[in-house]
Amino acid sequence: MAKIVKSVNNDSIDVSNVGVFYNKENQKAAYISKSIETLLNDNDIQCSILTTEEYSQKYTLAIVLGGDGTILRTARYYARYNTPILGINLGRLGFLSQAKSSQINEAIGCILNGSFKIEDRLMLSAMEEKLNALNDIVIKGDGFSRTSRLYVHINDNIVCDYLADGIIISTPTGSTAYTLSAGGPILAPTLDAIVVVPICPHTMNARPIVIPSNEVIKVTSSQNKPLLKISADGQETFAIGINEAIEIKKCSYSARLVLLNLEKNSFYSVLKEKLHWGLSWKG
C-alpha cells in the first residue's frame, strides 16, 4: 500500500518502497546507506540497500549516494518511471546533490516532514531515445586529436558550420558542467531551453546558441571524415557512420529531482558556494 508524503506546495513522494543506491566501490557509501536504512526503518518505511548495478522500476523513491556521475546514471534510469531522485553527495563537487553525508538526519527529516519540492528537469534524447541525457549529448570525431566539420541544422535549417573538436548539446542542468568549461552560458535549471556549444572551434565567430526546447537539432558531418562518436552525460557512447544524421531533441520524459528546504540549497547559492561564481579575487 502506498505511503504518501506531501510537501507544502502539494508535491508528493511515495515512500512505501525506497531504494538506497550506492557505488559498490565506495566503502563510505555502503556505511552511510546503513544509517539511512536505520532512519527510515525507525519511521516504519521499507528500505532496500542496493548497488548502482541493481536498479529496478519497483522503487518509489531512489536515494543516491555518490558524486554527480552516480546521480546522473540513476536519474537516466528512473526518469522513464517518473520516480523521484534524492542525491546525497559523496563526491567532489556534487552539483546535483541536495545534502552532504553529514546532513543525512536533516535530509531524511525534510522528506518525512514535507520540507521538499520536486523539480522536473529537461532531458535530451538521440537515436530514437536509445540514448538519453540529463546533462548533455556530445558529438566528436572518432580520430585522436582531429577536428571535424560538423553541420548543425535546427528544424531542418542549416544554422552553423563548425570546424571544431566537437559539439555539446546541453540541457540547463548540464550548463554548469562540460558546457561551462567549453565557454557556454549558465542557464537556470528550470528553463525550457537547449544550448549548442562548439568545442574548441577554429574560428572566432562560432559562439554558443540557446534555443527553445521544442526545436529539433540535426548534426551531420562531411563525407571525408571518420566515424563520429556520440555520448550521453559522458557515460554512454556510440559510434555513428559518416552518412548518418544525428537527431537530438527534447526527451519525452523528465528527470524528477527532489530538492530539500535546507540552508544554501537554492540554485544561486549552490552556484556561489560550489563554483565560487561572481566572487572577486582578494589579493
- List residues with catalytic annotation: 68
Distance CA 16, CA 3 (A): 5
- Strand runs labelled E in 171-240: 193-199, 209-212, 217-221, 228-232, 236-240
Query: Angle at CA 265, nearest 5°, toward 74 and 171?
Result: 50
Distance CA 242, CA 233 (A): 22
Phi, psi of 71 (to 5 degrees): -65, -40
Closest C-alpha to 246, from 135, 151, 171: 151
